[in-house]
Each structure stands twice: as structure tokens, then as C-alpha cells.
Structure 1
Amino acid sequence: MRRTPPPPPSPSPNLPSPPPTQRTKRHCPSNSPSTSHADSKLDEEMSTQIPNKQEEILTLLTKVLSEITEIRKSHSDMQKTLEFYTKTCEEMQERLVALEDEKVMRETYIRNLENRFEEVDRHARSTCLEIRGVPSKPTETKQDLCGLVGKLQDKLKVNGQLNTIKDIYRIKGKPNGDRPIVVDFTTTIMKTSILQAVKKHNAANTTDRLNTSNLGMECTKSPVYVSEFLTPKARRLYFLARDIAKICRYDFCWSASGRIFLRKAVGSAPIIITSEQQLEDLKQKNG
């Protein structure tokens, strides 16, 4: 008779339970068929892709090198162009400096010529008087003008003869105005004598200055002015100098021997005016 084995003892409630059994995964050996197949496939793919990648890299490098060569060539061309323009600019700068120097020389030369011409013209006018304010006649002759000068000398009590007049004529004047008379004497002595006599007469007769009635002319009474026959440059300087004299309070402004003078006050040194720039400087200084 078989005996029934006793039942396993029941665990004690106070004893801990045994830990669960952990199953270990079996690793597939490296020389398994699946691994060999994957490796061979990877080798095949890499052997195919690497040459392609190499060709792409070589193509890209060739393209980059070609672009670098083009850039170097372009840079070389730009450098040559820059050097050309730099050289051209330097040459132009040198030419500009030379032209500036030539301009200064020419301006100096022209200024010297103008001054020499002014001296010659002033010397040619040194014996001339200008008479303004005398109406002209329709059939006026040089003899009529000489007779007018004789009456002027008589009025001013200046001794003179017709042979002291070298030439006499009218010049162009203002529009719708009487043309001035120019009297060219043989000497500056006669010219100076008449100018001094006119100044003396006008100072002594402030209410009856020299006029057409004094000269026995049958016309409306009007002032007659006698002055030096100035050059165009001196005439303009005289016009501007009188304005400066008013603005800057110069007491005296006059012409003598064809030159223009300014004087601040009695006793001060006279200033010879030679250019418009000098007048502008005086205006800035005394403005």
C-alpha cells in the first residue's frame, strides 16, 4: 500500500517570502546567421555609398577651388584697376596743382597788365578835364566847345589861351542826358588851375555854384560840374569810396592826379584807394 506524501509545510506568517526567480535572456552568439547577414548588408551599403560620397566631395572641392581661383583672378583684376585709378588720381592731382599754380601766375600776370594799363591810361588823362551838365547844340562844333571853355576861364578868372587846348570832344553819357565834355590841355598846369578855381568859386558862392548861367548859356539854369577825367576803374572806385565814406564816417573823399583818396578826419593820414577789396576791408574794419 502506497503512502500518501505529507503536504508541504505552510509558510510561517512571520517568515519572508522568497524572491521571485529572474529569467536570464540568452544572447545570440555573434556568429549567428542573422548577425552575419546584417553585417554583410551594411558592408555592401557602405561600399556603395562611400565612393559616391567621395565623388560628391571631390566635385564640391573642385567647384570651390574653381570659385577661389575666379575670386583670386577677380581680386587681382580689381587690384590692378585700383592701382590704375590710384595712379590716375595722383596724376590728376599733380595736374590740378600745376593748373592752380598756372592760374595764380596768370592772375598775377593779368593783374600786373591791368595795373600797367591803368598807369598808362591815367597818364594819358593827366591833362584832361571833364565838364558835365552842359547842354549840347544840334550843330555843335569844336570851336563852340572851345568858346565854352574860354567863358569858363573868364568866369573863374584863369588866364588861358586857345592854344593851351590840345583837343576837346564829347563822350558818351547817361541815357537821355547831356554828354560830358572832355578837354585835353597841353599841360597839367592849366588843368590844375581850373580845378582849383572851380573849388574856390563854389566855396565862395554856396548859393550860386557854377552853373549854365555863369557860362552865358541861353537855357534853363542847371549846375555845371568840373572834375578830373578819371579812368573807368578810378571812376568806379570813386563811386564806391563815397559810399564807404558815408557808411564809415570818413570826413573826406576826393580825387587827385587820377587817384582816389579817403581821410578819416582833419590831420589824419590820407588813404590811397587802389582796389575794391581794399574798400571792402575798410568797411569790415570800421563797420
Structure 2
Amino acid sequence: MSQTHGLRKWACCAKDEGDSECNICAECGLAYHLVCLGLSVPTEGGEWRCPKCAVRKLHSDDTLIRTLTDDIVETSEDNVTRRATKRQAISSPIAETSTVTRDDVHNIVKGVFKSEMGVLLTQMNNNFAMLMNRELQGLKSEITEMKESMNFMSLQYEEFKDKHQAVLKSMDELRMENTDLRTTVTHLTGRVDQLEQQARASNIELQCIPEKKAENLLNIVSSICKVVNCPVKPENIIKCTRIAKIDPAGLRPRSIVVQFSSPNVRDHLLASVKTYNKSKKTPDEKLNTSNIGLKCDKKPIYVVEHLTPSNKALHAAARLRAKENKYKYVWIRNGRVFVRKSDDTDYIMIKDMNSIEKIV
């Protein structure tokens, strides 16, 4: 509590400073200059106690402090502060009266402050320790639960790792098995294709012959044989039929497949067609629809070996690659595809799609 007082007696010193701010004890009502107390700001709240009352309250069992506080100053009427008369101890002379200085008051206040601060610090330490223990207990429980969770996750991870290793091993085995199976399938596919091609060793394929209703395919084959000067007996022709197109949307008519009695008859007819076409000077004079008496636009007729679908695809890819690299010749012999870049170079046999890379 702080107030500004007029003329009155002060409990701290002999100075009469009416305009000075002070602290008034809540118990004894005595006033103290802030300067004498060593304070710069007055105490608010109305609960301030002077050194005497504070020491008596907090340290009633402290003989030294009680003795000092009993020596509270009394202000005389002439404004001179003197030490009060001490109590006379047993078998001791009466103590002499002495003046209480400002340093004495400061020392008393300092001791009280230290005592109060000590109690406050002790209480704060105890409260802090209790709070920390409570918080740490919860944190300890959480850490324990976390450790258990981590252990569980570690076990799960180890199990997952073992399963993963087993899966990787199984995948490697399956990959190797798949590679072997693919190699086997490729080999078997090649053998099946070879056997299928061998089954067509006596067949030829007539391409680009227009389709008509009620057409006689046997007469068409006989006419072609006569044109190329390769007489074939009817008994040498086993079967004549049109086959489905690879591309149903294509504009070219369906091809005619002719099966002869032997590969020799087929080879003889192919050689005759080749000789006939070479004897003509212009492409228009080569074998065409007008040569066999078909009443339609003049279109070329191609006589080739009857290839399997895979060999047809290989032949088409080889022709395209040869055209890009300016190869002069691409031909088929006994179901195999050959290419040659020029007359003075060696031929290249194209066995499969991987062999296309040889055409450079």
C-alpha cells in the first residue's frame, strides 16, 4: 500500500518528507519511506508488512531477528530517531540506547526478503518437481507403449522381409522357368510352322485373280498352265479352292490355292511362270488376266508358293525392309525368304523376325 502523507512521524528515519511515497504496514500501520526500504515502486494490494511485523510472523523462533525487530525505532517529538530500549536480559546490565540506521533497516529487509524468497523458491521447486513427475509419468507410459509398438512393428517387418525374400526367390524361379518355356514355345512354334510349310510343299497360290460367280477354278489353273507353256494333267491337280483373306477389309480378291500331286509339278509350274515373265519386255506383257480370257480390266496375276501366315508376315517385313535399304532382290524358295542387295553380293536368308536386322 502506498500513500502520500503530510507531517507525521516516520518509523524508518528522522526525515519528515511529506510528499514522499511510502509503504504502510497492514498490521501495525507504521509508514516507511520507499528510499529507506530500497524500493523504487510502492507495494500495491494493501498486504505489505513492515520488517518488524514480517519478521515476527515468519521467524518468531529466531532469537537474533526477534532481538533486532524489538529494536524498532521510535521517533521523538524533535524528529530524531533513536533505538528503543532493549529488554534487560537476566543478570545483565541495561543495554545502552543507540540509533537505528538505514543500513540496519536494509539488512533486516534483506534478510526477510531472502527468507521469503527461500520459502517461495522451495515451494516452486516442490510444485515444479510434482508437475514434472506427473508429466514424466505420463510420458514414460507413452514411451513404454511406443516401445511395445516398435517391437511389434519390428517383428512384423521381419516377417514381411522373410516373405518378401521368398517371393523374390519364387519370382526368379518363375522368371527362369518362363524364359525356358518361351524358348521352348519358340522352338516348337518354329517346328510346327516348318511342318505346316512342308505340308504345303506341293501347293501354289494364285493372287489377284478377280472373283466371279459360278467360276471354274480348274479351268483358270489349266489356262495359266497353257499360257506359261507348262502342261499339267488334270490328275496332277488334287484340289483347287479360294482361301479367306488375312485382311477382310482389303480390296484384293481372295487367293486361289492349288494343290498338286507332287512338289515337282509345283516347282515346274513356278519355273515356267518365272521364265514367261522374264521373256516379256514390259510389265504389262507379263502374266495377267487377259492372258487367261477373263473379261475384266487387265490386271497382273502372281503365282507364288503357298506360305504359312507366319512366313507371309516374314516375307512382307523382309520386302519392306529391303525396299528401305535399296535391296534389289527378294524371293522365296521352298518356304524360305531370301534377299540380295545387288548382283555381285551374297544372298541373306531370313529365318525369323530377328533376322530382319541383317538387312542393312
Q: What TM-score does the superposition give when structure 1 sets the normalisation length? A: 0.76
Q: 1:146 aligns with which of 218, 221, 233?
A: 218
| 1:206-260 C-alpha deviation (Å, 9 max, x unpaired) | 3311122222334433221111111111111111111211211222110110111
1:62 maps to: 137
The structure carrying a bigger helix percent of its residues is 1
For the residues of structure 2 that align with 1:98 and 1:65, how far apart are their CA atoms? 49
Structure 1 portions without partners, runs of 5+: 1-28
**Is 1:157 the equivalent of 2:198?**
no
For the residues of structure 2 that align with 1:34 and 1:41, how far apart are their CA atoms? 19
The alpha-carbon deviation at position 120 of structure 1 amounts to 1.6
Q: The residue matched to 1:31 in structure 2 has which SS?
A: helix
| 1:178-210 C-alpha deviation (Å, 9 max, x unpaired) | 321110011111111111111111111133111
Change beyond 3 A, Cα 1:166–1:60 = same
Q: The residue matched to 2:289 in structure 1 has which SS?
A: coil
The alpha-carbon deviation at position 43 of structure 1 amounts to 8.5
Which moves more between the two structures, 243-252 or 225-234? Answer: 243-252
1:282 maps to: 358
**Is 1:122 the equivalent of 2:204?**
no
**Is 1:245 the equivalent of 2:322?**
yes
1:10 maps to: none
Q: The residue matched to 2:163 in structure 1 has which SS?
A: helix
1:15 maps to: none
**Is 1:265 the equivalent of 2:298?**
no
For the residues of structure 2 that align with 1:172 and 1:164, how far apart are their CA atoms? 24
Q: The residue matched to 1:214 in structure 2 has which SS?
A: helix
| 1:53-98 C-alpha deviation (Å, 9 max, x unpaired) | 5544543443343233123212212222322332232223223223
Q: 1:107 aligns with which of 177, 182, 206?
A: 182
Q: The residue matched to 2:209 in structure 1 has which SS?
A: coil
The alpha-carbon deviation at position 49 of structure 1 amounts to 6.6
For the residues of structure 2 that align with 1:49 and 1:249, how far apart are their CA atoms? 99
Q: 1:88 aligns with which of 142, 160, 163?
A: 163
The alpha-carbon deviation at position 41 of structure 1 amounts to 7.7
Change beyond 3 A, Cα 1:45–1:156 = closer
Change beyond 3 A, Cα 1:52–1:219 = closer
2:310 maps to: 233
1:255 maps to: 332
Structure 2 portions without partners, runs of 5+: 1-61, 70-110
Change beyond 3 A, Cα 1:33–1:116 = same
1:72 maps to: 147
For the residues of structure 2 that align with 1:115 and 1:127, how far apart are their CA atoms? 20
| 1:115-157 C-alpha deviation (Å, 9 max, x unpaired) | 12211210111110111232333113xxx32222222222222
The aligned length equals: 252
Q: What TM-score does the superposition give when structure 2 sets the normalisation length? A: 0.62
Q: 1:186 aligns with which of 241, 257, 261?
A: 261
For the residues of structure 2 that align with 1:66 and 1:55, how far apart are their CA atoms? 17
**Is 1:214 the equivalent of 2:247?**
no
